[in-house]
Amino acid sequence: MTDANVLIVGAGPVGLTLAIDLAWRGIDVTVVETRAPAAPPEPKCNHVAARTMEIFRRLGLADKVRNAGLPADYPHDVSYRTSFTGQELTRIKIPCRRDRFTARDGPDCNWPTPEPPHRINQIFLEPILFAHAAAQPRIRIVNRTSVDNVVIEDTGARVDLRDLDTGTITSLECRFLIGCDGARSIVRKAIGAEFEGDAVIQRVQSTYISAPGLIDLQRCERAWGTGAINPRRSGMVYAIDGRERWLVHNYMKPGEGDFEDVDRDASLRTILGVDADFKYEMLSKEDWYGRRLIASRFRHRCAFIAGDAAHIWVPYAGYGMNAGIADAMNLSWLLAAHLNGWAPAAILDAYEAERLPITSQVSKFAMSHAEAEIRRRGAVPAEIEEEGPDGDVVRAAVGRLTYEINVQQYAAAGLNFGSYYDRSPIIAYDGAVHPAYTMNSYTPSTVPGCRTPHVAMADGGSLYDAMGPEFTLLRLDAAIDVTSLVAAAERRGVPLRVLDLQSQSDLQNKSAAIDDGSALILSRPDQVVAWRGKHPPVDSLALIDRARGAASQSAIGIAP
């Protein structure tokens, strides 16, 4: 090993998805990982967001991912109870994977996407990604290897790789270096970035257990996630395999001291609602701090960071891994555009310009939700476990508040579809205001910088399936002559597909957002609106140059 086109440090879900997408775009990639090929990850991430599932669909992975994890009939509901085996307070209904495409009455059903969310733990997701990546001829994965030294220059980077089994050190040069290597990222340190924000929001004892008898002790229907709310302990229990493996989070209280000062076994039994005779096996443990930290920069010269290397926050809404994959997909098409020769190096400036502000937006939603949930935990009425009418009244009130707070994170339509890029150097803005969004609500829009609204095609397929792998010009009026735009793209070597929606889409199902008067919508490779208009721009070449990172905002004559 002496050189690499793109070197990715870290083979977690973010690094692997980035490698797969780059290879899909024709780029050779090397991935370095400290773990052995078959070493299982920690059971951290439990949720794949709709936008991530859309990515997996494009890469041919959605079916494999959706068919893994919990049994097909296991409810993906979130149940809140006085303990895991106690009385139910409220339930957020989320369909099992068997019913995912037919259910219509859940808070995350009927979303405008070909791929709804999926609940699956990282221990099942990561092997799927690894196997797919390892089978790609353009991807080279080097396991049991650490990066010990990094030198970054304008035209490339040089790293020292240490074989963890033999101690042998090899020097490797790469054109681009990407750190997907987590919170202690060596690449983040090498680019001179520092974490800024809130160091500690909460502390959590996490315990991964095997308890075959636990599932039968429930007093109500099974659930993917079970929140325990009582005056002594608050926690979450996640079903990992739907049979015997569980991940238990114990939310520590203020002033409880260090992690080891709190009796792990007693806390776990209180959350589960079981006595001292109940048998379980602790498979692993990982205690962690809930934080809100964002790197001061995401790039320096030829090196970039993504995922936990760039940002960490309280994992509400399951958006740690999913935000990291969103980073990766943004960076992937920019890098590929440059390496494939149709975009200058200046296009890479868009990565930090787009992802750093969006990271701040999303992290603040997670932070606000964490604060609301922490306040709720601090006010658990003593009567919540009492039998009889008085207890019923208290449980109903706590249940209503708990549902209102938490349905936002478990049905986070706003985080999936509402975020937008409002200061990008490669988007042609037209002065329109981006629609506001919250964690769980948004307004579909073709305002440049927003996600291209999804519609179902006449054949039942997805608009995203019909779009090209790079740029797509959506034409809602086939009579409009787009020759100038097509010619400009050809002149610059920019891959562009023209898709006539009026003749191919089901007009009855077409959303008002995509039919908002803009007869033409230019959608980027990451399904973000780059430009829209009622007819082609005055200068089509200037628009294409802007979209590929070769023109300034003032250089474009935009006639909406």
**Tens-digit pLDDT profile for residues 295-329:** 999 999 999 999 999 998 777 656 789 999 999 99
Q: What mean pLDDT comes out for the span 385-391?
A: 93
380: in domain:
no
Q: What mean pLDDT comes out for the span 16-42?
A: 96
Rounded CA-CA distance 204/88 in Å is: 23
Q: Which domain holds residue 52?
A: 3-68+118-195+292-365
Q: What is the pLDDT of residues 540-555, one digit of tens each?
A: 999 999 999 998 544 4
Strand stretches in 309-396, DSSP E = 311-313
3-state secondary structure 461-530: CEHHHHCCCCEEEEECCCCCCCHHHHHHHHHHCCCEEEEEHHHHECCCCCCCCCCCCCCEEEECCCCEEE
We report the CATH number of the domain holding residue 171 as: 3.50.50.60
Judge if 146 and 43 occupy the same domain. Answer: yes
**Domain's final residue, options 343, 365, 387:** 365
Judge if 361 and 427 occupy the same domain. Answer: no
Q: What is the pLDDT of residues 284-300, one digit of tens each?
A: 999 988 888 999 999 99
Q: What is the pLDDT of residues 167-223, one digit of tens each?
A: 999 999 999 999 999 999 999 999 999 999 877 778 899 999 999 999 999 999 999
Judge if 449 and 317 occupy the same domain. Answer: no
Judge if 347 and 461 occupy the same domain. Answer: no
Cβ atoms of 202 and 291 within 8 Å: the answer is: no
The CB density around residue 506, as the number of other CB atoms within 10 Å, is 13
Between 302 and 373, the more confident residue is: 302
Q: Is the pLDDT at 536 greater than 50, yes or no?
A: yes
Q: Is the pLDDT at 378 greater than 70, yes or no?
A: no
**Domain's final residue, options 334, 365, 396:** 365
327: in domain:
yes
We report the CATH number of the domain holding residue 484 as: 3.40.30.120
Between 361 and 187, the more confident residue is: 187
pLDDT recorded at residue 557: 45
Residue given tokens 């001179």 in the structure block: 192
pLDDT recorded at residue 235: 95
Residues pairing with 39 in the sheet: none
pLDDT recorded at residue 371: 66
- Window from 114-128, 174-188, 495-509 with minimum mean pLDDT: 495-509
147: in domain:
yes
143: in domain:
yes
Rounded CA-CA distance 538/176 in Å is: 36
DSSP state of 458: T
Under the banding of pLDDT at 50, 70 and 90, the label for residue 2 is: low
- CA angle at 177 for the pair 176 and 178, rounded to the nearest 5°: 125
390: in domain:
no
Q: What mean pLDDT comes out for the span 220-238?
A: 96
Q: What mean pLDDT comes out for the span 252-276?
A: 93
- CA angle at 44 for the pair 47 and 186, rounded to the nearest 5°: 115
413: in domain:
no
Residues pairing with 172 in the sheet: 159
Q: What mean pLDDT comes out for the span 460-467?
A: 92
Judge if 349 and 438 occupy the same domain. Answer: no
Judge if 177 and 34 occupy the same domain. Answer: yes
DSSP state of 3: E
Q: What mean pLDDT comes out for the span 376-394?
A: 88
Judge if 436 and 551 occupy the same domain. Answer: yes
Judge if 341 and 444 occupy the same domain. Answer: no
pLDDT recorded at residue 552: 56
Q: Is 292 helix (H, G, I), strand (E, B) or coil?
A: strand
pLDDT recorded at residue 56: 98
Q: What mean pLDDT comes out for the span 18-25?
A: 98
For residue 293, the surrounding DSSP H or E stretch is: strand 281-295
Judge if 57 and 168 occupy the same domain. Answer: yes
- Window from 16-25, 205-214, 402-411 with minimum mean pLDDT: 402-411
Q: Is the pLDDT at 508 greater than 50, yes or no?
A: no
Under the banding of pLDDT at 50, 70 and 90, the label for residue 411 is: very high
The count of domains in the chain is: 2
Cβ atoms of 462 and 486 within 8 Å: the answer is: no
Q: Is the pLDDT at 93 greater than 50, yes or no?
A: yes
408: in domain:
no
Percent of the chain with pLDDT over 90: 80
Q: What mean pLDDT comes out for the span 149-154?
A: 95
Judge if 430 and 308 occupy the same domain. Answer: no
Between 6 and 293, the more confident residue is: 6
Q: Is the pLDDT at 400 greater than 70, yes or no?
A: yes
- Nearest CA to 50 out of 336, 477, 442, 364 is that of 442
- Phi, psi dihedrals of residue 216, rounded to the nearest 5°: -85, -5
**Domain's final residue, options 315, 333, 365:** 365
SS3 content of the chain, % helix, strand, coil (to 5): 35, 25, 45
- Nearest CA to 556 out of 521, 530, 534 is that of 530
pTM recorded for the entire structure: 0.94
Rounded CA-CA distance 377/161 in Å is: 46
Judge if 22 and 141 occupy the same domain. Answer: yes
pLDDT recorded at residue 442: 93
Q: What is the pLDDT of residues 337-359, one digit of tens each?
A: 999 999 999 999 999 999 999 88
Judge if 134 and 28 occupy the same domain. Answer: yes
User: Which token pair is 454?
Assistant: 């999804």
317: in domain:
yes
